[in-house]
Amino acid sequence: MTHHEHPDAALVRQGYEAFSKGDMEALGALLTSDCTHHAPGTTRFGGHFKGRDNVLGMYRDMVEYTGGTFRVELDGVFADGRGHVISTHKWFAEHGDRGIEMRGALFFTLVGGKASDIDECVEDIAELDAFMSLDD
């Protein structure tokens, strides 16, 4: 069987690659200027981040909070051919003497070959909040 990846799935893979390399310029080029990332939880990393600069700023803050240890292993990318993509992954991070490992997923809405909306889901919101609020 031949696997032909849909262009929308390829775009999401490019985003994961750019994030993994810390290439926020390349990642930003894949987002609309008015994109929104909806993140779960009640910490400063949870909520609705509107606009490319705010989304990228949240990503930078998360990398800084985890001392550069934040990393993601992409599991799967699934496109519907109508501008929606779901990705599944496992992410890992450390802060101080504490570490976390969690499965998650992102639901992308794409417009004009760029992500305009990203909805994030995680395996355990309470654990996420506990980890992301260690300094509070």
Provide, for the chain, the percentages of residues in helix, strand and coil under a 3-state DSSP scheme, each rounded to the nearest 5: 30, 40, 25
Tell whether 101 is covered by a domain. yes
What is the pLDDT at residue 134?
87
CA 119 to chain centre: 9
State phi, psi for 68 to the nearest 5 degrees.
80, 10
CA nearest neighbour of 16 among 95, 112, 118, 98 = 118
Q: For the chain, what is the radius of gyration of the CA atoms?
A: 15
Query: Quick check: is 47 in a domain?
Result: yes
Range of the domain at 14: 7-132
Amino acid at 12: V
Residue 1: the pLDDT is 44
Query: Does any domain span residue 2?
Result: no
Calculate ∠ Cα 49-64-72, nearest 5°: 75
Residue 28: phi and psi, rounded to 5, are -60, -30
DSSP class of residue 80 equals -
Q: Total domain count for the chain?
A: 1
The two tokens of residue 3 are 């696997």
The pLDDT, as a whole number, for residue 35 is 98
Q: What is the pLDDT of residue 49?
A: 98
Closest by CA position to 30, among listed 68, 93, 85:
85
Residue 1 lies in a domain: no
All residue ranges of the chain with pLDDT < 50 are: 1
What pTM did the predictor assign?
A: 0.94
CATH code, 82: 3.10.450.50
Question: Has residue 49 been placed in a domain?
Answer: yes
CB 86 within 8 A of CB 106: yes
Confidence (pLDDT) at 64? 95
